[in-house]
Structure 1
Amino acid sequence: MLRRVLETAALITVLALAAQSVRPLRAMDQISPPAVLAAASNDSISAAAFRLTRNDSLVVFGAHPDDEVLGAGGLIHAAIAAGARVRIVTFTNGDGYVEGVDVGFHTLFSTPNRFIEYGQRRQQEAFAAAGRIGLSPAQVTFLGYPDRGLAVLWGSAWDCRHPYTSPYTRRTLSPYTLTYRPGARYCGENVLEDVERVLRQERPTIIVTHHPADTHRDHWAAGAFVAAALEQLTLRQEPWTKTVRVWHYLVHHGIWPRPGAYAPDLYLTPPPELAAAGPGWAQYPIGRADEDAKRLAILEYRSQVHLMRAYMLSFVRRNELYGLRPHILPPRLEGEGVAPATPEAWARLPLLIRMPSGGSVLHATEGSAKLDSVALARDSTRLYVALRLRNPPMREAQYRLELRLFYRDGHMARLPLVFRVPRSLTSRGTLPQDLPLPAGAAARTVGSRICVVLPLASLGDPVSFLLQAATVDPLRTPVDRSPWILVRLAVPAPGAAAPRSGLRE
């Protein structure tokens, strides 16, 4: 009963907001945004020297229908005008949006069939939006995986022997006819395989995908799948991986964009905390025709515009913004490496990952669970990882470090580590791909740092790995996490070059 009362209150709020935002867009809307600081110019962000040509091939990934237009609608329109090939790949049909289903069907009793019908509706909206930016339905691919489930597939539901069940559609595989691989069960292994297959088919010169620092779980997970697929293909020496560029767009990160309204004469700028954390951003200026096409494409997503019109149109600006996240090469230490109990040596390790400042009230009050930075280094036999916190770690919290390891023979493995104060390090592996705690691994606290030493030989001598650090408070509530970052330990293959991220030539 209490649940229904809360759902009713939530629906009333949604309907009130929708009523405020459903009016037609008028010309005056663009001159009356909320009074917040916005950029009338974007001189601080480097502009793209790179120009699209008919020789380019773009693959634009989005977790949901509408993400591709919000993040790259102008770029797609410009690419088509330049004669480039473009394919949009959407991971889910967006069929787990409870508020959207309730409002769209005027009900509080959403059934699995209604969620599926909503997913079909969003699929048709995606085709209409694609037409506005110059694409045909044949250039749009739906992978058909579960909305609000991509992070689970990247994590605990990786193994296809135990497929994930969507809590919305109640299905373990795509219920949609227009699905890239009908019959593929909901599991991380299948998602990775599909992304690899699409990339091999398209052989892109440019990959556009979600930013690792996006706070939506489906978004960062989609970006992680793309990063893993590209790394696998790079290790297999696919020729196009030597020169492909990778650009990352942001959709969700706090109160962003600013202003949260239609302001087509302004520029997008990165959230200040992300700009300060690095590593870098570049803008792709778009022409008036590209901007207009993007606006019309966004408006085709009627089911979403009905609920959040101002937010969606706030992405229509004079530029599009892309994060540049090159892979990390940890510095190589000479001599005998770093002893776990040597504070001075750990303090000298270079900070290669800086976490954004700010955050929620929970982050501010629980500095012992708030990440500040990650430092990495290696010597001939060991990997050194230092997690720096805002305050010294506490015994009641959990500190997690996960590595997705890539090997020259093409296989992957996971190493999910858990640290507890003062020096307890365990592996919380639950899947066949998970490694046990490596022999010789050690960890301890040094001031506000958690210092971890991992013998490379015990890890199987990986070529590279994706790394994420996370913290969990005493109530087992996730508090903070770092973006998934690619770290290279060796050259992928003789003569191979790493994919590029820059917009510049």
Structure 2
Amino acid sequence: MRKIVYIIIFVIFLDSYFVAHAEDLKDAIEFSKNDRVLIFAPHPDDEAIGVCGAIQKALKQNAKVRVVCYTNGDNNAPAFIVYEKRITFKKGEFLHMGQVRRKETMRAMVSLGVKPEDIIFLGYPDFGTMEIFTKYWGAVVPYKSLFARVSKVSYPEALSMNAPYVGDSILKDIKKIILDFKPTKIFVSHPADVNRDHRALYLFLQVALWDLEGNIESPEIFPYIVHIVRWPIPRGYHPELELKAPDSLANVGIEWLKLELTEEEIKIKRNTISFHKSQIKYNPRYLFTFARKNELFGDFPAIKLKTQISERPLWQDLKAYQNLEIDPEHKKDRENSITPDIAYAAVDNKLLIRLQLRKKIEKDIGVSVFLIGYSKKADFSDMPKLYIKVDTLGVHIKDKKQLIYSKAVEFEVQDHTLILKVPFSLLGNPDRILTFARTHPNDLPLDESSWRTLYLLKEK
């Protein structure tokens, strides 16, 4: 009799556990009629690939939805050649491709029920916005796009026609959109995405939200992944499969949220992706890979550094994220890789960065770190944006595009360990720091970390 009681209790426990677990997955992201959902897409088609299911669910609850395309995707030359069946290098032709992609997104989003007036295009340079974020601020000659060869927003339908290709323009547009719409939820590309525009959009949004702190209610942020090498697998339309977190991002502190889609929502997502014919012709199977049983959202946790006065730093370790330009299954590539494990500390008014390398720094092999400070007391445009490169010749520092000479940056190398010491004063005495590390070998695979955010906690 006692065994029967135990069995009944165990069955009840299992039943309640799985029901609760199912509800957690189902309720990971909920929408209501009071929501104002803002979708940021780096290129026309990313909104369909990454967030179409979320858009459907939001609209079903009568939430307000607004979609913003950051670029017009006019730099995809291979897709242009396949779609147009001709080769051209005229700048007007690439702007034409940007118009083709804009119209595809308009038709796709309207088919879902998004109002035309709630679809906004910014028109910034495809494949150029990370360069802008790290180098082009203030009174500088604007960035010139690679193929379209223009230095300002050149699409009449864009939010800020003729805006110069500088960071100030992009930040101003994003802040204006947020202030006008007052979103409760924002979906944006992921800082670990391999595509540089996807990363840059996340960074611009982060800075915009910091600037607007105190002026708006803080929205929920849901980053989504599109480009990770060899993910998702298998390619093609597989509505029966789940979209799982990439292996390279499985143990780096991200709490993934899974938004389950119904069979009908999956079909609608596939149909929505089908509007992007200019991209499908170039790679017919890839886009449909994302029409699966769920969508994934998640972000890295912030790194909080407490300023110390100590000879023994309290390191905040990060598990290395590798962008997987090299296949993790290939041992030879892993041996050649010098991808660092990274740790940070704040000691005696300096930021310390420890990189645990798999190989020693040698000729033609080095490490680079971006350090971009943010302070509530200064205009972000004026803040230093440092690029620090360490190789066998020493330390090389740039602030945006300007080479600077400073003995204030110290470094130590012991076997496979590199420690950089950067004064906070050189970073503009920031409250927060956006940081990114990468290796730059000549003939070895490129390895890099993701962009991460450091919060500096001041002693009271």
For the criterion TM > 0.5, the same-fold answer is yes
1:63 is matched with 42
Measure how far apart 1:443 and its partner are: 1.1
Task: Tell me the number of residue pairs that the alignment of Structure 1 and Structure 2 aligns.
Answer: 433
1:132–1:293 Cα contact (<8 Å) kept? no
1:160–1:185 Cα contact (<8 Å) kept? no
Q: Does 1:155 align with 2:155?
A: no
TM-score, scaled to structure 2: 0.86
What secondary structure sits across from 1:371 in the alignment? coil
2:354–2:419 Cα contact (<8 Å) kept? yes
Measure how far apart 1:276 and its partner are: 2.9
1:442 is matched with 410
The one-letter code of the counterpart of 1:72 is V
1:411 is matched with 379
Q: Does 1:266 align with 2:266?
A: no
2:264 is matched with 289
Q: Does 1:398 align with 2:366?
A: yes
Structure 1 CA distance for aligned equivalents of residues 36 and 319 of structure 2: 31
Alignment of 1:214-293 (within 5 A): 214-234=193-213, 237-241=214-218, 244-293=219-268
Measure how far apart 1:157 and its partner are: 3.6
2:302 is matched with 327
| 1:336 alignment partner, one of 298, 305, 310 | 310
Structure 1 CA distance for aligned equivalents of residues 405 and 66 of structure 2: 40
Shift in CA distance, 204/370, structure 1 to aligned 2, threshold 3 Å = farther
Cα RMSD between the aligned structures? 2.8
1:376-429 Cα offsets, whole Å, 9 max, x none, are 12245332211222222224323211111111224222122222348x334223
Structure 2 CA distance for aligned equivalents of residues 359 and 404 of structure 1: 25
1:368–1:393 Cα contact (<8 Å) kept? no
Q: Does 1:469 align with 2:437?
A: yes
Measure how far apart 1:262 and its partner are: 0.7
Measure how far apart 1:52 and its partner are: 0.8
1:160–1:186 Cα contact (<8 Å) kept? no
The one-letter code of the counterpart of 2:341 is S
Structure 2 CA distance for aligned equivalents of residues 363 and 472 of structure 1: 20
Q: Does 1:420 align with 2:387?
A: no
Shift in CA distance, 132/316, structure 1 to aligned 2, threshold 3 Å = same
Q: Does 1:207 align with 2:186?
A: yes
2:189–2:223 Cα contact (<8 Å) kept? yes
1:314 is matched with 289
Shift in CA distance, 54/160, structure 1 to aligned 2, threshold 3 Å = farther
Structure 1 CA distance for aligned equivalents of residues 319 and 404 of structure 2: 24
| 2:317 alignment partner, one of 341, 351, 359 | 351
Structure 1 CA distance for aligned equivalents of residues 128 and 331 of structure 2: 25
Alignment of 1:59-138 (within 5 A): 59-138=38-117
1:122–1:303 Cα contact (<8 Å) kept? yes
Shift in CA distance, 129/114, structure 1 to aligned 2, threshold 3 Å = same
1:115-172 Cα offsets, whole Å, 9 max, x none, are 2222111111111110122202111110001122222222334455311222322222
Measure how far apart 1:312 and its partner are: 0.9
Q: Which runs of 5 or more residues in structure 2 are unaligned?
A: 1-20
1:389–1:448 Cα contact (<8 Å) kept? yes
What secondary structure sits across from 1:180 in the alignment? coil
Structure 1 CA distance for aligned equivalents of residues 359 and 415 of structure 2: 9
Q: Which runs of 5 or more residues in structure 1 are unaligned?
A: 1-41, 339-344, 495-505
1:487 is matched with 454
TM-score, scaled to structure 1: 0.79
Measure how far apart 1:365 and its partner are: 4.7
2:10 is matched with none
The one-letter code of the counterpart of 2:210 is E
1:377 is matched with 345
Shift in CA distance, 253/354, structure 1 to aligned 2, threshold 3 Å = same
Shift in CA distance, 368/103, structure 1 to aligned 2, threshold 3 Å = closer
What secondary structure sits across from 1:289 in the alignment? helix
More RCO (CA 8 Å, sep 6+) = 1
Structure 2 CA distance for aligned equivalents of residues 74 and 454 of structure 1: 44
2:18 is matched with none
Structure 2 CA distance for aligned equivalents of residues 286 and 436 of structure 1: 54
The one-letter code of the counterpart of 1:427 is I
1:415–1:436 Cα contact (<8 Å) kept? no
Structure 2 CA distance for aligned equivalents of residues 447 and 46 of structure 1: 46
Structure 1 CA distance for aligned equivalents of residues 236 and 334 of structure 2: 33
Measure how far apart 1:458 and its partner are: 4.8
Shift in CA distance, 279/388, structure 1 to aligned 2, threshold 3 Å = farther
Measure how far apart 1:65 and its partner are: 0.3
The one-letter code of the counterpart of 2:215 is E
Q: Does 1:303 align with 2:282?
A: no
What secondary structure sits across from 1:77 in the alignment? helix
Measure how far apart 1:272 and its partner are: 1.1
Structure 1 CA distance for aligned equivalents of residues 426 and 129 of structure 2: 30
Q: State, as a whole percentage, how many aligned pairs show the same letter.
A: 26
1:214-249 Cα offsets, whole Å, 9 max, x none, are 111222222222222222223xx22312xx211111
Measure how far apart 1:176 and its partner are: 1.5
1:34 is matched with none
Shift in CA distance, 440/201, structure 1 to aligned 2, threshold 3 Å = same
Structure 1 CA distance for aligned equivalents of residues 351 and 441 of structure 2: 27
Measure how far apart 1:357 and its partner are: 8.0
The one-letter code of the counterpart of 1:319 is N
What secondary structure sits across from 2:285 in the alignment? helix
